[in-house]
Structure 1
Amino acid sequence: MTAATRADSRAATPERILSLDRLAALSSDALRGLYARGSVPDDLTALAGRPKGRMLAVRGLEHGPAGRLLRSLARSPKFPWDGKSFFADSPDEGRGINRVNLVVRRFEWFPFTTRVEPSVLDGQPCVYLDYEQPGNPWFIARIRDEIREVAPDLYLGPAMWKRGRGRAAHLLWFAVDFGTPATP
Structure 2
Amino acid sequence: MFHAAKAGDVPLGRTEGRAHLFPGTLENESLSRLIQVFAWRGKTFDLDGTMLSNRVSALDLPAIRAKVYRGSSWLDREDCIVLDYSRTSFVASAVRDEIREIAPGLHLGLIWLFGRRAGWFTLRALEGTRSDGPGGTA
TM-score normalised per structure 2: 0.80
Kindly tell me the number of residue pairs found equivalent between the two proteins: 128
Tell me: higher relative CO, structure 1 or 2? Use CA pairs within 8 A at least 6 residues apart.
2
1:59-98 superposed matches below 5 A: 62=23, 67-76=25-34, 78-89=37-48, 94-98=50-54
C-alpha distance after superposition, 1:110-162 (max 9, x if no partner): 1001100000000000000010234x22x411101000001111000110113
Pick one of 41, 53, 57 that aligns with 1:101: 57
Q: Does 1:176 align with 2:123?
A: yes
Equivalent residue letter for 1:147: I
Q: CA RMSD in A?
A: 2.3
Aligned residues of 2:16 and 2:125 also touching (Cα < 8 A): yes
Hey, what does 1:143 align to over in structure 2?
Answer: 95
5+ unaligned residues in a row in structure 2: which ranges? Answer: 130-138
Percent identity between the two aligned chains: 29
SS for the counterpart of 1:51 is strand
Residue 79 of structure 2: which of 125, 134, 143 is its match? 125
CA–CA distance in 2 between the matches of 1:181 and 1:82? 17
Report Cα offsets for 1:30-82 as digits up to 9, x if no partner: xxxx00011123x64xx211010000233xxx56xxx5334213125624211
- Larger helix proportion of the pair: 1
1:153 to 2:105 alignment: yes
Matching residue of 1:57: 21
TM value normalised by structure 1: 0.62
Render the CA deviation track for 1:65-117: whole Å, top value 9, x for unaligned.
xx53342131256242110001143xxx5110100123xx3321110011000
What is the SS of the residue equivalent to 2:21? strand
Q: What SS is found at the alignment partner of 1:141?
A: coil
